[in-house]
Amino acid sequence: MKMQSKFKTIGLALFISMFGFGCSQEVQDETNEVVDETQAELNEANVEANREYDEFSAWVTTNAERAETVTADEFREMRTEYNRREAELERESANWDVETRREWEETKADWARFEERVQQRLGNVEDVDVDVDIERENQ
Q: Which residues contact 115 (CB under 8 A, 6 or more apart)?
A: 79
pLDDT digits (tens, 9 = 90+) for 61-93: 998 888 888 888 999 999 999 999 999 888 888
pLDDT at 128: 45
pLDDT at 132: 44
pLDDT at 129: 46
pLDDT at 21: 61
pLDDT digits (tens, 9 = 90+) for 94-132: 877 888 889 999 999 999 999 999 998 887 766 544 444
pLDDT digits (tens, 9 = 90+) for 1-51: 555 666 667 776 766 766 666 566 776 777 778 778 877 777 777 777 778
- Please give the Cα distance from 122 to 57 (Å, whole number): 24
Q: What predicted TM-score, i.e. pTM, was given to this entire model?
A: 0.60
Domain residue ranges of the chain, discontinuous segments joined by + = 48-124
